[in-house]
């Protein structure tokens, strides 16, 4: 389980042992968290306009911070493939990121207002 706080902290929680591991968090509130399909990665999104991706086993950042949104990042989701990450923001965009090289693959800018995500 993972939790994000209003002060920007991201915490990994082991439900079996009760151990809580704080991670290198954000400068502003955390808005969204998403685990990859294989459970190996955790993505966090924040009002600081950044996305961070952590290795669940050791808590380290696995890629540089993903930046590109001009507003709060309010949703992040891993598609089933696990090779990309999708984010949505108050800047009215949805962005697709390549995790392996930390680059933006595509930005959908057609929205007229803040966007949130729901992937299946």
Cα atoms found within 13 Å of the Cα of residue 88, Cβ hemisphere only: 17
- Residue 30, C-beta contacts closer than 8 angstroms, at least 6 positions apart: 4, 5, 6, 8, 9, 10, 44, 45, 46
- With pLDDT > 70 as the criterion, what percentage of the chain qualifies? 93
**20, 43, 41: which is closest to 32 by C-alpha?**
43
The predicted model scores a pTM of 0.91
| Plot region of 101 (φ>0 → left; ψ -120 to 50 → alpha; else → beta) | alpha
pLDDT bucket at 120, cuts 50 / 70 / 90 = low
CATH (residue range 2-108): 2.130.10.10
What mean pLDDT is reported for the chain? 92
Q: Are 88 and 117 in contact (CB under 8 A)?
A: yes
Tens-digit pLDDT profile for residues 48-91: 999 999 999 999 999 889 999 999 999 999 998 878 999 999 99
């Amino acid at each position: 389980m993972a939790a994000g706080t209003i002060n920007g902290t991201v915490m990994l929680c082991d439900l079996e042992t009760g151990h809580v591991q704080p991670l290198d968090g954000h400068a502003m509130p955390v808005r969204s968290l998403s685990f990859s399909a294989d459970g190996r990665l955790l993505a966090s999104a924040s009002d600081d306009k950044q996305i961070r991706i952590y290795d669940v086993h050791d808590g380290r950042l696995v890629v540089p911070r993903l930046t590109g949104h001009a507003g709060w990042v309010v949703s992040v989701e891993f598609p089933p493939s696990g090779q990309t990450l999708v984010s949505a923001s108050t800047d009215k965009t949805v962005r697709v990121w390549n995790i392996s090289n930390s680059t933006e693959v595509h930005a959908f800018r057609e929205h007229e207002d803040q966007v949130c995500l729901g992937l299946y």
